[in-house]
Structure 1
Amino acid sequence: MHPRLLKTFLEVARSRNITRAAEAVHLAQSSVSDQVQSLEAELGAALFTRSKTGLDLTPAGLALKPIAEDLLRLDGEARAAVQAAAAQASGSLTIGALETIASARLAPWLPGFQARHPDITVRMKVADSGALRRLLEDGDIDVGFCFERRDVSKGAADERLARRTIAAETLVLVAAPGQGAAPSDLAALATLRFVATEPGCIYRHMLDTAFAEAGVAAPRLVAEVGSIGAIAQLVAAGAGLGLVPRLAVSGALARGDLVELPWPGQMQTAPLTMIWRRRRVQPPALGQLLAAARETLAPVSERSQLSSEPESANRSKALL
């Protein structure tokens, strides 16, 4: 069973649709169908059946799915082991990131990394937090950069994934110029109008958590939008207040499109985290990127703070 066929099979199983699977693996629909049929002919069993809601796995397909995932993982580890044995820090890497992190942090940083490692080709995919996790699990990206939910450290972490926080991004309360001073306590602030992303998004989680930790109900939202950029524009137009990472609105603050108001409580931060799959043998190119991100992606003022992390965080360095 060729890894290419297994990857296509898993994408069809995930999307339950030939068209969406073809888009995900960058093939024509006919090629996806041909690959599935080739795999079925090789195994001597049908893997999918059609239903009103899409393609469903047959009992044979359900049996193959976890084995296909293991085989693709082993294929990657075999390639990594050969590269490590040959001391080859070359090859290609695919980075996944939230749009804000990709534009504000990775875009200025990646050219320097590529200049220092010309034998490593780096591609980037921009997606939301949920999509980044799926891309990591499916092996479509090598490392993801996102803002981590703080409740991950309380038992919700996936042990198949390794993670390391490399920066603590400050959250800022922003408003349109001339809107006036913010209330001096969170209860009063919660009575004002806010703009936020949809439920389930990491930015919405940051807003809800900031009030919940103080025992205050979340504020009323006048709009739920899909991006930090849209939040910034709505806030600048006077629709309401926003609580967002500073790096997402630094340009708007510098231009005077937005103003920062004092947060009436403990300063809020968002942990910028890189996440990758645990492997018995790590590809040398990925090791180079993880080490470089750990040492150079965080601002200088944050590196000294991160160097004094507790022992539990230091142990994660052994994964690099």
Structure 2
Amino acid sequence: MHPRLLKTFLAVARSRNITRAAETVHLAQSSVSDQIQTLETELGAALFTRTKSGLELTPAGLALKPIAEDLLRLNGEARAAVQAAAGRTGGHVTIGALETIASARLAPWLPAFQAGHPEIAVRMKVTDSGTLRHLLEDGDIDVAFCFDRRDVGRKSTADERLARRTIAAEPLVLVAAPGQRRAEHDLAALATLSFVATEPGCIYRHMFDTAFAEAGVAAPRLAAELGSIGAIARLVAAGTGLGLVPRLAVGDALARGDLVEMPWPGQVLTAPLAMIWRRRRVQPPALKQFLTAARDTLVPVASPDRTGSGLESANRSKALFANNS
């Protein structure tokens, strides 16, 4: 079974749709169908059955899925072992990140990394948290930068295959349009106002909903739900409603006066920014160098906030790295 066929099979198994799978593996729909048919012919069994809700795995497909995942993992580890034994230090690393992290944390840091490691090519994919996790598990990205949800009580099988380091605890801030600044002394009063929020499933939205729920207060009315922090900031600046967003995403807007910060009447909210990658017996040399550099040098940029100086933020970040090794 060729690894290419197994990768296509897993894409179809996860998306349950030929069109979406084709987008994932960057093939034409006809090519995806042909590869699935080739695999079924080779194995002598149907792997999918069509239902009203999409493609479903047959018993044969369900049996193949975990083995296909293991075979692709071993294929990657074999390549990494050969590269390491041959003394290769170059290669490419594909990283995935949330939009906010990509622009505010990785964009300022990557040029220095690439200048120090010209033999390593870095590719970046910007998407949402759920897609990042799937890309990481499928091996389509090597490392993901996202915010960790801390409400998960038990790790799944997929989580046990992943390693993670916390880079920083990013503060969330309550922002409003200039001229709308008003101090609310408790969450109940704040809940009477309108908000612009991220969509359900996002870490910021989870923290927003949880803050009011834990205080026994009904969540505020949402004027809009958006998938982009940048779009949320623009709507807040236009007076659509308040926003609870990561400071790193609106630092420039606050400095320009496009937004103003309001005091948050509840417990200070921070989101753990994490670097997550798959556990392997042998890491590809390029990825190993990237992870080491990120651990040692990727620290929060200085910002004029109330948490202290840029040096203090950097020291906190390095301590977090050390504590999450």
Distance 2:297 2:322 in 1: 17
Residue 171 (structure 1) shift: 1.1
> Which residue matches 1:41?
41
**Residue 84 (structure 1) shift:** 2.3
Q: How do 1:203-214 residues align onto structure 2 when only pairs under 5 Å count?
A: 203-214=204-215
Alpha-carbon distance between aligned partners in 2 of 1:85 and 1:315, rounded to the nearest angstrom: 31
Match of 1:129 in 2: 129
**Count of aligned residue pairs for this structure pair:** 313
Distance 1:135 1:150 in 2: 21
Equivalence for 2:220: 219
**Which residue in the other structure is 2:308 paired with?**
none
Residue in 2 that maps onto 1:79: 79
Per the alignment, residue 243 of structure 2 pairs with: 242
Question: Are the aligned partners of 2:46 and 2:58 in contact in 1 as well (CA < 8 Å)?
Answer: yes
User: 1:26-62: per-residue Cα shift (whole Å, max 9, x none)?
Assistant: 1122221221222122222222222333322222222
Match of 1:302 in 2: 313
Deviations 1:201-244 (A, max 9, x none): 11101212333455544333222222212211221111211110
Q: Secondary structure at the match of 1:151?
A: coil
Q: How far apart, CA to CA, are the structure 1 residues paired with 2:234 and 2:324?
A: 39
Match of 1:254 in 2: 255
What is the identity, as a one-letter code, of the residue corresponding to 1:301? Answer: E
Instruction: Tell me the distance in 2 between the aligned counterparts of 1:292 and 1:94.
Output: 15
Q: What secondary structure does 1:170 align onto?
A: strand
Q: Is the 8 A contact 2:181 2:260 kept in 1?
A: no
Residue by residue over 1:67-99, the C-alpha shift from the partner in whole angstroms, topping out at 9 and shown as x without a partner, is 111100111111112222233222111111111
Structure-2 change in CA distance of 1:126 and 1:307 (3 Å): closer
CA contact (8 A) 1:98 1:129 kept: yes
Deviation at 1:14, TM superposition (A): 1.5
How many angstroms apart in 2 are the aligned matches of 1:44 and 1:265?
61
CA distance in 2, matches of 1:57, 1:18: 13
- The answer on 1:92 being equivalent to 2:103 is no
Gaps of 5+ in 1: none
Maintained 8 Å contact 2:211/2:266: no
Q: Which AA in structure 2 matches 1:47?
A: L
Alignment partners' CA distance in 1, 2:38 and 2:233: 50
- Tell me the percent identity: 79
Residue equivalent to 1:173: 174
CA 1:213/1:298 → structure 2, altered by over 3 Å: closer, same or farther?
farther
Question: Contact 1:175–1:241 at 8 Å: present in 2 too?
Answer: yes
Give the corresponding residue for 2:306. Answer: none
Separation in 2, partners of 1:169, 1:315: 16
**Any stretches of 5+ residues in structure 2 without a counterpart?**
301-310
| Cα separation, partners in 2 of 1:55 and 1:179, compared to 1, 3 Å | same
Q: How far apart, in 2, do the equivalents of 1:122 and 1:247 lie?
A: 23
Q: Which amino acid aligns with 1:132?
A: L
Kept in 2, the 8 Å contact 1:97–1:146? The answer is yes
The reply to whether residue 13 of structure 1 matches residue 16 of structure 2 is: no
State how far apart, in whole Å, the 2-side matches of 1:171 and 1:315 are.
22
Q: Deviations over 1:261-310 (max 9, x none)?
A: 1222432211111111111222221121112112222134333123445x
Structure 2 counterpart SS, 1:95: strand
Mean alpha-carbon deviation: is it higher for 284-293 or for 64-73? Answer: 284-293
Moved more, 260-269 or 196-205: 260-269
